Structure 1
Amino acid sequence: MRIVIDMQGAQTESRFRGIGRYSLSLAQAIARNAGNHEIYLALSGLFPETIGPIRQAFRGLVPQERIRVWQAPGPMRWIDAQNASRRAIAERVREAFLETLDPDLVLVTSLFEGLGDDAVISIGALGEPLPTAVILYDLIPLINPDEQYRTNPVYRGYYADRIENLKRARHLLAISDSARQEALGALPFAPEKVTNVSGACDEMFTRVVPDADSLATLKRRLGVTRPFIMYTGGADARKNLPRLIEAFAQLPDTSRQHHQLLFVGRMPQSEVSALRAHAQRAGLRADELLFSDYISDDELLALFSTCSLFVFPSLHEGFGLPPLEAMACGAVVIAADAASLPEVMGSPESLFDPQSVPSISAKMHQALTDEGLRARLLENARTQAQAFSWDRSAKLVLEAIAPFERPRESRAVRAVTFERTTLFEPKIKRILLLKLDHMGDLLLAVPAISRLRARYPKASIDVVVGSWNQALAQTLPFFDRVLTLDYFKRKSSLQAELSDGSLAEFVKELGFYDLAIDLRRQPDTRFVLAQVEAGLKVGYGCLNPAIDAKLDIALPTYQDLPFVETPLNRMSISEQMLALVDALPAHPSDYVVLPPIATPLQQHTRAVALFPYAGGDAKEWPVARFHELARRLAADSAVELVSVFFASEKEAQRFSFDGIEKVVIQAGLSIPELMRHLAGHQLCVANNSGGAHMAAYLGVTALGVYGGLETAHEWAPVFGNSYVLHNEAACSPCHIPARRDCPHNFFCLDDITVDEVFARCRELLAQNGGALPTAPSRPSIKSTRKKLFQALAPLVRQCNEDELSRVAQGIALSLPTRTRRALFVDVSELVSHDARTGIQRVVRSILSELLKDPPKDFEVWPVYATHDRTGYFYAKRLRSRFMGQGDPGSVQEDPIDFQAGDVFLGLDLNPYGIGVQEAFLDEMSRQGVRIQFVVYDLLCVQMPSYFAPGSEELFTKWLNTISRYDGVVCGSRTVSEEFTQWLHQHHPQRQDALEVGWFHYGADVQNSRPSTGMPSDAPRILKALRAAPSFLMVGTVEPRKGHAQALAAFEQLWQQGTAVNLVIVGKSGWLVEKLVARLRAHPELGKRLFWLESISDEYLDQVYGACSCLLAASEGEGFGLPLIEAGRKHLPILARDLPVFREVALDHAHYFHGTSGEALAQAVTHWLTLYRQGAHPKSEGMPTLTWEASVQQLLGSVLPTHQVIQAVTRMEVPAETE
Structure 2
Amino acid sequence: MRIVIDLQGAQSIGSRNRGIGRYSLSLTKAIISNCANHEILVVLSGLFPDTIIPLRNELEGLLSQKNILVWDAPQNVSYIDKLNDVRRESAEYIRESFLATLNPDMVLVTSMFEGLVDDAVSSVGLIDRKIPTACILYDLIPLINSSTYLDNPDIKKWYEAKIAHLCKVDLLLSISESSRQEGIDYLGSTNEFTVNISTACEKHFRPLVINDEYELSLRARYSLKDTFIMYTGGIDHRKNIEGLIRAYSNLPQNIRDKHQLAIVCAIQENDRTRLGALAKNHGLDSHEIIFTGFVSEEDLVALYNLCRVFIFPSWHEGFGLPALEAMSCGKAVIGANTSSIPEVIGLEEALFDPKNDQAITDMLVKVLCDDDFRMMLASHGLVQAENFSWDKCAITAIKAIEHWHVQNITLEQSLFTEKGLKLAYISPLPPEKSGISDYSAELLPTLSKYYDIDVVVEQNYVSDQWIRQNCNIRSVEWFRENHSSFDRILYHFGNSFFHQHMFDLLMNIPGVVVLHDFYLSGILGNMEFNPTNNYIFSKALFKSHGYKAFKDKYGTKNIADTILQYPANLEVLQNSLGTIVHSENSKQLTKQWYGPSMSSNMTVIPLLRSSGIIIDRDLARQRLSIPKESFVICSFGFLGESKLNQRLLNAFICSKLSKEPDCYLIFVGENNNGQYGISLVEIIKKSGLKNRIKISGWVDKDTFRDYLASADIGVQLRTSSRGETSAAVLDCMNFNLPTIVNANGSMADLSRDTVWMLENEFTDRSLIEALETLWADEEKRKNLGDRGKDAIRTLHNPQECAFQYFKAIEQFYENPKSIIFNLIHQISNIKSIDEEILMLLVSNSLAKTFPAFPMQKQLFVDISEFIQQDIKSDLLHVVWNVLKELIENPPISYRIEPIYVMSNNFGFMYARQYTSNKILNIPNNFLLDQPIDFDKDDTLISFNTSLSDPYTSKHKYSIFEAKGVKISFALHDWLNMNNLATVSNVGNIAKESIDVKQLQNYIIEQLA
Normalising by structure 2, report the TM-score: 0.57
Q: What does 1:802-841 align with in structure 2 at a 5 Å threshold?
A: 802-820=837-855, 821-831=857-867, 839-840=875-876
After TM superposition, give the deviation of residue 835 of structure 1 in Å.
Answer: 6.0
After TM superposition, give the deviation of residue 1122 of structure 1 in Å.
Answer: 4.5
Whether contact under 8 Å (2:827, 2:833) holds in the other structure is no
Q: Secondary structure at the match of 2:134?
A: strand
Q: Distance in 2 between matches of 1:976 and 1:319?
A: 59
After TM superposition, give the deviation of residue 862 of structure 1 in Å.
Answer: 1.2
Q: For the structure 1 residues 850 and 280, does the alpha-carbon distance in structure 2 shift closer, same or farther, using more than 3 Å as the test?
A: farther
Match of 2:205 in 1: 205
Match of 1:182 in 2: 182
Q: Which fold has the larger relative contact order, with Cα–Cα distance below 8 Å and residues 6 or more apart in sequence?
A: 2
* CA deviations over 1:1020-1052 (Å, ceiling 9, x no partner): xxxxxxxxxxxxxxxxxx9x77xxxxxxxxxxx
Q: Distance in 1 between matches of 2:750 and 2:61?
A: 39
Q: Distance in 1 between matches of 2:377 and 2:947?
A: 60
Q: For the structure 1 residues 306 and 202, does the alpha-carbon distance in structure 2 shift closer, same or farther, using more than 3 Å as the test?
A: same
Is 1:925–2:961 an aligned residue pair?
Answer: yes
Letter in 2 for 1:791: Q
Stretch moving more, 380-389 or 869-878:
869-878
Q: Secondary structure at the match of 1:113?
A: coil
Match of 2:96 in 1: 95
* CA deviations over 1:437-460 (Å, ceiling 9, x no partner): xxxxxxxxxxxxxxxxxxxxxxxx
Q: Secondary structure at the match of 2:883?
A: helix
Match of 1:381 in 2: 381
Whether contact under 8 Å (1:3, 1:107) holds in the other structure is yes
Stretch moving more, 379-388 or 57-66:
57-66
Whether contact under 8 Å (2:83, 2:832) holds in the other structure is no
Whether contact under 8 Å (1:129, 1:168) holds in the other structure is no
Alignment match of 1:701 (pick from 739, 744, 749): 749
Q: Distance in 2 between matches of 1:772 and 1:147?
A: 57
After TM superposition, give the deviation of residue 141 of structure 1 in Å.
Answer: 2.5
Q: Secondary structure at the match of 1:106?
A: strand
Gap regions ≥5 residues in structure 1: 412-605, 609-629, 642-679, 683-694, 704-718, 722-760, 763-770, 937-968, 979-1037, 1042-1065, 1070-1116, 1126-1183, 1196-1201, 1203-1218
Q: Distance in 2 between matches of 1:720 and 1:64?
A: 46
Letter in 1 for 2:69: R
Q: Distance in 2 between matches of 1:803 and 1:915?
A: 35
Q: Secondary structure at the match of 1:16?
A: coil
Q: For the structure 1 residues 330 and 822, does the alpha-carbon distance in structure 2 shift closer, same or farther, using more than 3 Å as the test?
A: farther
Match of 1:948 in 2: none
Q: Distance in 2 between matches of 1:67 and 1:122?
A: 20
Q: What does 1:604-643 align with in structure 2 at a 5 Å threshold?
A: 637-638=608-609
Aligned length: 644
Normalising by structure 1, report the TM-score: 0.48
Q: For the structure 1 residues 132 and 825, does the alpha-carbon distance in structure 2 shift closer, same or farther, using more than 3 Å as the test?
A: same
Stretch moving more, 310-319 or 785-794:
785-794
Q: What does 1:427-442 align with in structure 2 at a 5 Å threshold?
A: none
Q: What does 1:398-413 align with in structure 2 at a 5 Å threshold?
A: 398-402=398-402, 403-404=404-405
Q: For the structure 1 residues 163 and 81, does the alpha-carbon distance in structure 2 shift closer, same or farther, using more than 3 Å as the test?
A: farther
Match of 1:790 in 2: 825
Q: Distance in 2 between matches of 1:869 and 1:847?
A: 24
Q: For the structure 1 residues 338 and 828, does the alpha-carbon distance in structure 2 shift closer, same or farther, using more than 3 Å as the test?
A: same
Whether contact under 8 Å (1:865, 1:913) holds in the other structure is no
Whether contact under 8 Å (1:352, 1:360) holds in the other structure is yes
Q: Secondary structure at the match of 2:173?
A: strand
Q: What does 1:857-868 align with in structure 2 at a 5 Å threshold?
A: 857-865=893-901, 867=903
* CA deviations over 1:555-582 (Å, ceiling 9, x no partner): xxxxxxxxxxxxxxxxxxxxxxxxxxxx
Q: For the structure 1 residues 407 and 342, does the alpha-carbon distance in structure 2 shift closer, same or farther, using more than 3 Å as the test?
A: closer
Match of 1:1190 in 2: 1002
After TM superposition, give the deviation of residue 197 of structure 1 in Å.
Answer: 0.8
Q: Secondary structure at the match of 1:98?
A: helix
Letter in 1 for 2:190: A
Letter in 1 for 2:749: T
* CA deviations over 1:994-1041 (Å, ceiling 9, x no partner): xxxxxxxxxxxxxxxxxxxxxxxxxxxxxxxxxxxxxxxxxxxx9x77
Q: For the structure 1 residues 22 and 374, does the alpha-carbon distance in structure 2 shift closer, same or farther, using more than 3 Å as the test?
A: same
More helix by share: 2
* CA deviations over 1:476-503 (Å, ceiling 9, x no partner): xxxxxxxxxxxxxxxxxxxxxxxxxxxx
Letter in 2 for 1:897: D
Q: Distance in 2 between matches of 1:31 and 1:823?
A: 31
Q: Secondary structure at the match of 2:315?
A: coil
Q: What does 1:589-738 align with in structure 2 at a 5 Å threshold?
A: 637-638=608-609, 701=749
Match of 2:73 in 1: 72
Q: For the structure 1 residues 275 and 833, does the alpha-carbon distance in structure 2 shift closer, same or farther, using more than 3 Å as the test?
A: closer
Match of 2:975 in 1: 971
Is 1:909–2:945 an aligned residue pair?
Answer: yes
Match of 1:301 in 2: 301
Q: Secondary structure at the match of 1:358?
A: helix
Q: For the structure 1 residues 283 and 76, does the alpha-carbon distance in structure 2 shift closer, same or farther, using more than 3 Å as the test?
A: farther
Q: What does 1:405-484 align with in structure 2 at a 5 Å threshold?
A: none
Q: What does 1:873-892 align with in structure 2 at a 5 Å threshold?
A: 873-877=909-913, 879-880=915-916, 886-888=922-924, 891-892=927-928
Match of 1:37 in 2: 38
* CA deviations over 1:1156-1192 (Å, ceiling 9, x no partner): xxxxxxxxxxxxxxxxxxxxxxxxxxxx994454234
Q: For the structure 1 residues 315 and 974, does the alpha-carbon distance in structure 2 shift closer, same or farther, using more than 3 Å as the test?
A: farther
Q: For the structure 1 residues 793 and 867, does the alpha-carbon distance in structure 2 shift closer, same or farther, using more than 3 Å as the test?
A: closer
Letter in 1 for 2:1003: V
Letter in 1 for 2:300: L
After TM superposition, give the deviation of residue 337 of structure 1 in Å.
Answer: 1.4
After TM superposition, give the deviation of residue 815 of structure 1 in Å.
Answer: 2.3
Is 1:313–2:284 an aligned residue pair?
Answer: no
Whether contact under 8 Å (1:175, 1:196) holds in the other structure is yes
Q: For the structure 1 residues 8 and 272, does the alpha-carbon distance in structure 2 shift closer, same or farther, using more than 3 Å as the test?
A: farther
Is 1:898–2:924 an aligned residue pair?
Answer: no
Q: Distance in 2 between matches of 1:607 and 1:18?
A: 56
Match of 2:51 in 1: 50
Whether contact under 8 Å (1:76, 1:114) holds in the other structure is no
Whether contact under 8 Å (2:884, 2:920) holds in the other structure is no
After TM superposition, give the deviation of residue 858 of structure 1 in Å.
Answer: 3.5
Match of 1:157 in 2: 157
Q: Distance in 2 between matches of 1:8 and 1:182?
A: 23
Q: What does 1:111-510 align with in structure 2 at a 5 Å threshold?
A: 111-149=112-150, 151-402=151-402, 403-404=404-405
Q: For the structure 1 residues 913 and 1194, does the alpha-carbon distance in structure 2 shift closer, same or farther, using more than 3 Å as the test?
A: same
Q: For the structure 1 residues 859 and 16, does the alpha-carbon distance in structure 2 shift closer, same or farther, using more than 3 Å as the test?
A: same
After TM superposition, give the deviation of residue 173 of structure 1 in Å.
Answer: 0.6
Whether contact under 8 Å (2:94, 2:823) holds in the other structure is yes
Whether contact under 8 Å (1:134, 1:173) holds in the other structure is yes
Stretch moving more, 321-330 or 785-794:
785-794
Q: Secondary structure at the match of 1:932?
A: strand
Whether contact under 8 Å (2:10, 2:22) holds in the other structure is yes
* CA deviations over 1:1080-1130 (Å, ceiling 9, x no partner): xxxxxxxxxxxxxxxxxxxxxxxxxxxxxxxxxxxxx8xx984687xxxxx
After TM superposition, give the deviation of residue 778 of structure 1 in Å.
Answer: 5.0
Q: Distance in 1 between matches of 2:890 and 2:392?
A: 44
Gap regions ≥5 residues in structure 2: 414-581, 585-602, 613-727, 731-742, 752-757, 761-794, 797-804
Q: Secondary structure at the match of 2:386?
A: helix
Q: Distance in 1 between matches of 2:77 and 2:169?
A: 22
Match of 1:3 in 2: 3
Q: Distance in 2 between matches of 1:317 and 1:298?
A: 24
After TM superposition, give the deviation of residue 121 of structure 1 in Å.
Answer: 0.7
Q: For the structure 1 residues 230 and 132, does the alpha-carbon distance in structure 2 shift closer, same or farther, using more than 3 Å as the test?
A: same
After TM superposition, give the deviation of residue 409 of structure 1 in Å.
Answer: 9.9
After TM superposition, give the deviation of residue 907 of structure 1 in Å.
Answer: 2.4
Match of 1:656 in 2: none
| Identical pairs, percent | 36
Whether contact under 8 Å (2:583, 2:605) holds in the other structure is no
Letter in 1 for 2:221: R
Match of 1:1145 in 2: none
Q: Secondary structure at the match of 1:30?
A: helix
After TM superposition, give the deviation of residue 798 of structure 1 in Å.
Answer: 6.0
